[in-house]
Amino acid sequence: DARVTQTPRHKVTEMGQEVTMRCQPILGHNTVFWYRQTMMQGLELLAYFRNRAPLDDSGMPKDRFSAEMPDATLATLKIQPSEPRDSAVYFCASGLLGQDNYGYTFGSGTRLTVV
Amino acid sequence: DAKTTQPPSMDCAEGRAANLPCNHSTISGNEYVYWYRQIHSQGPQYIIHGLKNNETNEMASLIITEDRKSSTLILPHATLRDTAVYYCIVRVANSGNTPLVFGKGTRLSVIA
């Protein structure tokens, strides 16, 4: 089965360090989403892209978070500098506009711990 | 904000049908009902979606009331592997500009 690949699966970093999370969407999918999940807030949408262009990043703290799609096979989410409150599981999902009869496919997530 | 209301938790005996309700009283005519589930430590997984007719696939059945203000996801023979958080979401299908907005979902525990 086609899948969304996220790396790394786990990341522990010290406060103030830069963190980069990567996502490889399903080949041919043109929409990519970034979500963050915490116990308190649940699943929150951070940003999403269509054909590599950002459509909405209003869910992201702009001063420290940035999301990009350098090419169609890679999406990145960066946090600089990281803070303990950024500790969460970050999910990437991809889909194909006009053909979401099967919904969006999510990756297994990156579990980030900032100490 | 999520536009659906779900019970926070439910239990179901293994082998029995699990019926998960969802209220979406403000649903618009062009909005579909989607169901996803999230098994512990995994990403959400698509289950099924529908507009107004009942739908069935290999995972579940979706029953939507005639007024479309509520729906029920049915897992006909629940197994321990169905223990998960189930999310009911309403959105316009194929819209492109309305991503999935998750509420708190229903935590289903299947008990042996």
CB-based burial label for B61 (10 Å; 0-12, 13-18, 19+): middle
Summarize pLDDT for B69-112 with one digit per residue, the tens: 999 999 999 999 999 999 999 988 766 657 888 999 999 999 99
- Residues A20 and A68: their CA atoms lie apart, in Å, by 11
| Amino acid B94: pLDDT | 65
Q: Mutate which of A48, A106, A108, A111 to test chain B, going by most B C-beta atoms within 10 A?
A: A106
Closest Cα of chain B to A66: distance in Å?
19
| Amino acid B92: pLDDT | 81
Structure tokens at B9: 């938790």
Cα dist. A34→A21, A24, B6, B63, B98 in Å? 10, 12, 24, 30, 14
pLDDT at position B1 over 60? no
Q: Which residues of B touch A107 (CB under 8 A)?
A: 43
| Amino acid A103: pLDDT | 75
pLDDT tens for chain A, 115 residues long, are 789 999 999 999 999 999 999 999 999 998 999 999 999 999 999 999 999 999 888 899 889 999 999 999 999 999 999 999 999 999 999 988 766 566 789 999 999 999 9
- Residues B37 and A14: their CA atoms lie apart, in Å, by 32
Cα dist. B48→A37, A64, B25, B79 in Å? 22, 36, 19, 18
- Residues B112 and B22: their CA atoms lie apart, in Å, by 25
| Amino acid A71: pLDDT | 93
Interface of B with A (CB under 8 A): 34, 36, 41-46, 49, 93-94, 96-97, 99-105
